[in-house]
Structure 1
Amino acid sequence: MRVSVPDEVLPADRLGRVHFIGIGGAGLSAIARIMLERDLAVSGSDGVDSPVLAALRDLGAEVHVGHDAAHLAHLGPGDTVVVSTAVREDNPEVVEALRRDLRLLPRSAALAAVMAGRRTLAVAGTHGKTTTTSLLTVALQAAGADPTYAVGGELAQTGTNAHEGTDDLFVAEADESDGAFLVYRPAAAVVTNVEADHLDSWGTEEAYQAAFRDFLDCVDPAGFVVCVVDDPGAAALAEDARARGLEVVAVGEGTAADLRADDLVLEGTTSRCRVVRRAPDGREEPVGELRLAIPGRHYVLDALAALAVGLRLGFDAERLLAGLAGFGGTRRRMEAKGEQAGVRVYDSYAHHPNEIRGDLQAARAVAGEGRVVVAFQPHLVSRTRLFGPAMGEELGAADEVVVLDVYLAREDADPAVTGDLVADHVPLPAGRVHRAGAPAAAAPLLARLAGPGDLVLTLGAGDVTTLGPLVLAELAGADGGA
């Protein structure tokens, strides 16, 4: 559901009691956690129970499973209801909030409310936002800072997606999917890349790109922008930012970068490179060695962007690099789920053709001599309609591919848009491309396809994340429980 952003976004401590509809989601749960850590009154509801809801209850939130108008009975004038974009207009709590004329906020305005009074470091881009936000948070913590952060995934180090820090810094994932990033007023911004996506919201690629140009207008003129200029979209945005008089720090592997990755090595589950930066006189000077305990070139570029922000803020390079080296990953970003019968199982959030390409490159490095067996769940009818064939093309980098049904999320089914739109374009022999329905139905198939030394990778933004443990259980059963 789309809710308008008010002309004035009040600070969080002026919102009264706050009720979140869809509190279990990554975005709303992060905001709720920060409010709870500030001792604000929080309640909420979600369709299903989860560990996220349990954690919020432990922090003092009143959380309901299921939606009912009665859950708003404790709210009065001056209190606030925050609504997830995944919630539909006929949700009984939404209907009740509108009937009672309660203050209604979208996720973006609620996040802006907790940002109030802080120096916000906003991380935007089509891909890599969650990982880059996480890397920046961990790097700053290692360098001695204690930022507040709100991330679209759980940090391995903390087991949570948000925290109220003691510093004035606020590290935030700035989502462009529904225009949320245009509500924030960051002191600094990162743009990882700009590629067409979320056209269900934006309509055209041109409108989507224009939104990122509008995002530049949101950045404090005295602040700075970090752009990963290996990406053409981000490189064009960097030029636009310079033309507006904004300070730009360009990062990447190419010679156009101010902070550059050199001698990149991807080896198994790790990656490393030398980092050099351009001095004022144009010469390059060494910064140090960047090491990551996660695989993939795209993650190196994310880390380089995080490093650039830390350096520009004046933090020590050695401590920032140490923080990045200790980064344990983010849930659902090339996350190791376990190993059974000699088969390693990973899970990742990739749901766009370029994300699929990056994660398959990383998977190939991890697999070594083994094969890569992928289960992919297309996410959203609108995205699959636009990018299904391209998704299939990228999946051809695997050895065996299982395509699941489309995960509908906030959209209705379309009989013309199914997993076949992806599977039919995978450039592998027919016997190596398979179809399955839900994750549970795919688990036995994956267990049969994978052998010792192989790597199983589950990909997608929906409930495909439940598949990894099911595959491990199937493998354990086939192996006699060993």
Structure 2
Amino acid sequence: MTDFPANSTPVPASTPRPLHYHLMGIGGIGMSAFARLLRARGAHVSGCDDQASELTAQLQAEGIAVLHGHDAAHITAPAHGAVDVLVASEAVPKTHPELVAAREAGTEVRPRMALLSELLRAGPSIGVIGTHGKTTTTSMIAVALAGAGLDPSAFVGGIVPEFNSNARMGTGPFVAEVDESDRAFAELGSQTAVFTNAEDDHVGGNQATYWETVEEQHAGFARYVAQSGRVLYCADWPGLAALCQGAQEVLSYGQAQGADYRAVDLRPDADGTTFTVTHRDQVLGEARVGLPGRHNVLNALAALATTHLYGGDFASAAAALAAFGGPGRRWQRIGTVGGALVIDDYAHNATKVAAAVQAARQTGRRVRVVFQPHRYLRTQQSWKRLADALMDADEVLVLDIAAAGEPPIEGIHATLISERMAQNGHAGVRYLPDRAEVVRTLRGTAQPGDLIVTMGAGDVWKLARELTRPATDAAATVPTTAGDVPR
């Protein structure tokens, strides 16, 4: 494996110069992973982003040039050498000055999904698709494969602690998170498609990469599966089997009777779940996932099934997963405050929120959620389901909606969620948009038996860090802006 940051393969002077890739939005979790993989493959990599961040600082420390802002001069007068390939998300308008400059200069403009397709086609590959659980499942597959003695490459939409990165360069197979929010994913395929679920996320509105209807999106999943060598799908998710009919080889995993790989005899506890794995009724062995929630049992089962398909040692893979603490922002343990455990989780639609609340309940602690709704359109579509998903929490503090670049929609407000919960009998819900007050409230009331979960796809994660900092070091105010735009 090539570790980061020292991950570039030296290119002999006698060889042609490496291609220079310039990545727009390089500070995004996806683009930064591309940057690391490309550099590890010997390419010359630079990028630009509107926002400086811890991630862009890490890229710079790894030897990847990061420019502030977006400018046509990145192409017409490049500071780091002539650009051969400009990589951009489909969400970037075609009229963007950098894209226009690239086309006029004859520079190849490569969509991010075309780059991912190239990586998937380069050798044995595993593409993880679905509307929930992709980041965790991709991380688990990479960790399990590595633990089983294989040497995977990985492209992940989160930081994997075992790799200290969102990318890993190995000899293979290549495991990648394939995001359905970019409609071009439907033109891809992989040797193995791991299909977690299919719901109505990333549907509707004016987002450049969103689907018009859920039926269109699900047809995209079916196309990806049909273009893959085989599919391993979750048998517990209704309707998924019908989307896999075009696959060359169909395998399943789950708790459902008849699944090829099953998790049986689940033994949940406060910190996770121990279970037995079978393959067509033959016991492969005992496994454990150190993350609570039934959804994480299924994620771990998918990883163990995939490792089995690729010939990895089951016991070694299971041991690696038992030690796995999860990727960044997926049930991430941040610290403590007043003896209370503070967790941060990316859950932002109703299914994910319900799963996170169920996981929290499994700990046996008093569950206190700070929830930030994400996007006006998503809130308009699902505020009732979000409210219902939060009902099992003991306390819920609701922040304002994280716009993520969307304009407000008249009548759509975070109070729709808090008011529905109150009307349905929840005595512990409050709309509390003042973040400094959220921090003061939780610090003043936290107890050793509490579990505080900051939840959402926006910048609610900052509150978890603020809570766990010593009060004497805490900033007087907490940032209130949200800028979650997948890149």
Same fold at TM > 0.5: yes
Residue aligning to 2:259: 257
C-alpha deviation, 1:451, in angstroms: 3.1
What are the within-5 Å matches in structure 2 for residues 271-286 of structure 1? 271-278=273-280, 284-286=281-283
* 1:64 alignment partner, SS class: strand
Q: Which of the residues 460, 463, 475 maps onto 1:464? A: 460
8 Å CA contact 2:121–2:190 kept in 1: the answer is: no
Q: Which of the residues 234, 242, 255 maps onto 1:236? A: 242
Percent identical pairs in the alignment equals: 40
* 1:442 alignment partner, SS class: helix
Tell me, yes or no, if structure 1 residue 408 matches structure 2 residue 403. Answer: yes
Partner Cα distance (1:461, 1:115) in 2: 27
* 1:378 alignment partner, SS class: coil
8 Å CA contact 1:37–1:59 kept in 2: the answer is: no
Q: Which of the residues 354, 357, 360 maps onto 1:357? A: 354
Q: Alpha-carbon deviations, 1:272-306, whole Å to 9, x = none?
A: 1111221xxxxx22111111111111011011111
C-alpha deviation, 1:352, in angstroms: 1.1
Q: Which of the residues 326, 329, 332 maps onto 1:329? A: 326
8 Å CA contact 2:189–2:224 kept in 1: the answer is: no
Q: Which of the residues 34, 41, 45 maps onto 2:44? A: 41
C-alpha deviation, 1:92, in angstroms: 4.4
* 2:259 alignment partner, SS class: coil
Residue aligning to 1:128: 133
8 Å CA contact 2:373–2:379 kept in 1: the answer is: yes
What are the within-5 Å matches in structure 2 for residues 90-101 of structure 1? 91-101=96-106
8 Å CA contact 1:395–1:401 kept in 2: the answer is: yes
C-alpha deviation, 1:452, in angstroms: 3.2
After superposition, the Cα gap between the structure-2 partners of 1:185 and 1:213, relative to the gap in structure 1 and judged at 3 Å, is: closer
Partner Cα distance (1:422, 1:89) in 2: 37
Partner Cα distance (1:29, 1:303) in 2: 25
Tell me, yes or no, if structure 1 residue 377 matches structure 2 residue 372. Answer: yes
Tell me, yes or no, if structure 1 residue 392 matches structure 2 residue 387. Answer: yes
Q: Which moved more, 1:195-204 or 1:423-432?
A: 423-432
Residue aligning to 1:185: 189
Q: Alpha-carbon deviations, 1:181-201, whole Å to 9, x = none?
A: 324330011001111111131
C-alpha deviation, 1:98, in angstroms: 4.5
Q: Alpha-carbon deviations, 1:68-124, whole Å to 9, x = none?
A: 333332288871111235545665434433454532222211222333422110001
C-alpha deviation, 1:59, in angstroms: 2.3
Residue aligning to 2:115: 110
C-alpha deviation, 1:170, in angstroms: 0.5
Query: Which amino acid is the alignment partner of residue 250 of structure 2?
Result: V
Q: Which moved more, 1:84-93 or 1:28-37?
A: 84-93
Partner Cα distance (2:347, 2:97) in 1: 33
* 1:250 alignment partner, SS class: strand
C-alpha deviation, 1:168, in angstroms: 3.4
Q: Which moved more, 1:91-100 or 1:392-401?
A: 91-100
C-alpha deviation, 1:51, in angstroms: 2.1
What are the within-5 Å matches in structure 2 for residues 40-79 of structure 1? 40-72=43-75, 73-74=77-78, 79=84
8 Å CA contact 1:86–1:409 kept in 2: the answer is: no
Q: Which of the residues 133, 146, 149 maps onto 1:144? A: 149
After superposition, the Cα gap between the structure-2 partners of 1:138 and 1:385, relative to the gap in structure 1 and judged at 3 Å, is: same
After superposition, the Cα gap between the structure-2 partners of 1:320 and 1:54, relative to the gap in structure 1 and judged at 3 Å, is: same
What value does the CA root-mean-square deviation take over the aligned residues? 2.4
After superposition, the Cα gap between the structure-2 partners of 1:439 and 1:42, relative to the gap in structure 1 and judged at 3 Å, is: farther
Partner Cα distance (1:349, 1:216) in 2: 26
Residue aligning to 2:12: none
Q: Alpha-carbon deviations, 1:379-408, whole Å to 9, x = none?
A: 122211111211111011111111111112
Residue aligning to 1:160: 165
C-alpha deviation, 1:342, in angstroms: 1.2
* 2:151 alignment partner, SS class: coil
After superposition, the Cα gap between the structure-2 partners of 1:248 and 1:43, relative to the gap in structure 1 and judged at 3 Å, is: same
* 2:460 alignment partner, SS class: helix
> Counting helix residues as a fraction of each chain, which structure ranks higher?
1
8 Å CA contact 2:160–2:327 kept in 1: the answer is: yes
Q: TM-score, normalised by structure 2?
A: 0.87
For this pair of structures, how many residues does the alignment match?
451
| Runs of 5+ consecutive residues of structure 1 not aligned to the other structure | 1-12, 279-283
